[in-house]
């Protein structure tokens, strides 16, 4: 019984995977579908956060907690 249920759930999970066709990609490429709709604002926010905390996530750049380079 549990094996049959597991196979059914696996079949349902695999049926949800489908390739994105070229004519469907325009809906996924909209700016409001991006992880960060405003990449420049997100980068500025990260710079301010790391300058205040004195930490850096391994990205390019130098300096300390003062915000200096």
**pTM for the predicted model, two decimal places:** 0.36
Residue 49 or residue 60, greater confidence: 49
What's the confidence (pLDDT) of residue 32? 78
Domain limits of the chain?
Answer: 1-53
- pLDDT tens figures, 4-58: 899 988 888 877 777 888 888 887 788 777 788 788 988 898 888 877 776 656 5
**Three state DSSP letters for the chain:** CHHHHHHHHHHHHHHCCCCCCHHHHHHHCCHHHCCCCCHHHHHHHHHHHHHHHCCCCCCCCCCCCCCCC
């Amino acid at each position: 019984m549990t094996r049959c249920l597991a196979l059914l759930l696996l079949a349902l999970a695999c049926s949800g995977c489908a390739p994105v066709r070229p004519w469907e990609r325009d809906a996924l490429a909209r700016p409001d579908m991006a992880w960060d709709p405003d990449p420049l604002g997100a980068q500025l926010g990260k710079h301010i956060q790391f300058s205040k905390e004195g930490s850096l996530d391994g990205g390019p750049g130098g300096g300390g907690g003062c915000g200096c380079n």
